Amino acid sequence: MSGAGKIAIVTGGSGGIGRETVLRLAASGHDVVASYPSSEEEAQALLAESAKGRVDVARG
């Protein structure tokens, strides 16, 4: 599945299934916004692990 030019929003994206979803979407070319409920540390780790420039995080 090619995500070129597509944007995805993943709630609970900093951990567990949400994290894996974010990483797979980014790897397939999507630009991804991942929301996280509380763990800034997990969100920053996600940014470090993800495809550069493809993922952003927002607390909410």
Determine the Cα–Cα distance for residues 28 and 36; give it in Å rounded to an integer.
Answer: 21
State residue 6's pLDDT score. Answer: 93
Determine the Cα–Cα distance for residues 1 and 56; give it in Å rounded to an integer.
Answer: 21
Read off the pLDDT of residues 5-45 as tens digits, 9 standing for 90 and up: 899 999 999 899 999 999 999 999 999 999 998 889 999 99
pTM of the model: 0.86
Other C-beta atoms closer than 10 Å to the C-beta of 40 total 11
Backbone angles phi, psi at 19, to 5 degrees: -60, -50
State residue 38's pLDDT score. Answer: 87
**Does the pLDDT of residue 55 top 90, yes or no?**
yes
The confidence band for 53, taking pLDDT boundaries of 50, 70 and 90, is confident
Determine the Cα–Cα distance for residues 19 and 7; give it in Å rounded to an integer.
Answer: 16
